[in-house]
Amino acid sequence: MSLRIHGNRALKTLPGLDTRPTPARVREALFNIWQGTIPGCRWLDLCTGTGAMAAEALSRGAALVVGIEQSAKACRVIQQNWQQIAKPDQTVQLIRGNLVQKLPTLAGQQFDRIYFDPPYAGDLYEPVLEAIARYQLLADDGELAVEHSPARSMPEMVGNLNLQRQKIYGNTALSFYIIAPT
């Protein structure tokens, strides 16, 4: 299977359902919402899967892309995709391993845009949101988008993260968090 991103660029994907690429219309909607904020941004992609969201950010001018993915097979595909897209002035870093265990290694870094797309039925939502807040990974003027099933209720506040809005696209929902004003 192949996947296309901004500029009609094809990406490799893994066969089967081990990684669930974000539907094209959701990807397009997110980048329309974040239009104008991607060039030069620092992008963090959690549960990277195929790497398509970060590849899209790279193709739209993100300066830095960091991804965390547990699957070794997926990491190989992501590396190939990102190398194909990244320009010499863009930095990419892919971290392989357990998301909750790897997030503390990013302490001290901040990201303008964070995309978090865990397995919908999993139990990663709250621990990862808590870690993002605890390690202050979201920049003060940044935004975090969490992909989930529309049936899942997302918390209004987690640490200093404040739920701003939710959008539903068929079987996919996006919840947007910002740093709560002090």
pLDDT of residue 3: 45
Is the separation of the CB atoms in 171 and 150 below 8 Å? yes
- Mean pLDDT in consecutive groups of 10 residues from the start of the chain, 182 residues: 50 57 85 96 95 93 97 91 92 97 97 96 95 97 97 96 97 96 78
C-alpha 36/C-alpha 40 separation (Å) is 10
pLDDT of residue 145: 98
pLDDT of residue 55: 92
pLDDT of residue 181: 83
Q: Which of 128, 134, 71, 63 lies closest to 102, judged by CA?
A: 128
Name the DSSP letter for residue 69.
E
pTM: predicted TM-score of the whole model, two decimal places: 0.90
Is the separation of the CB atoms in 145 and 169 below 8 Å? no
Tokens of 69: 């993915």
C-alpha 132/C-alpha 114 separation (Å) is 9
pLDDT of residue 125: 97
All domains in the chain, ordered by first residue = 2-179 (3.40.50.150)
pLDDT of residue 22: 74
C-alpha 59 chain-centroid distance: 15
pLDDT of residue 23: 77
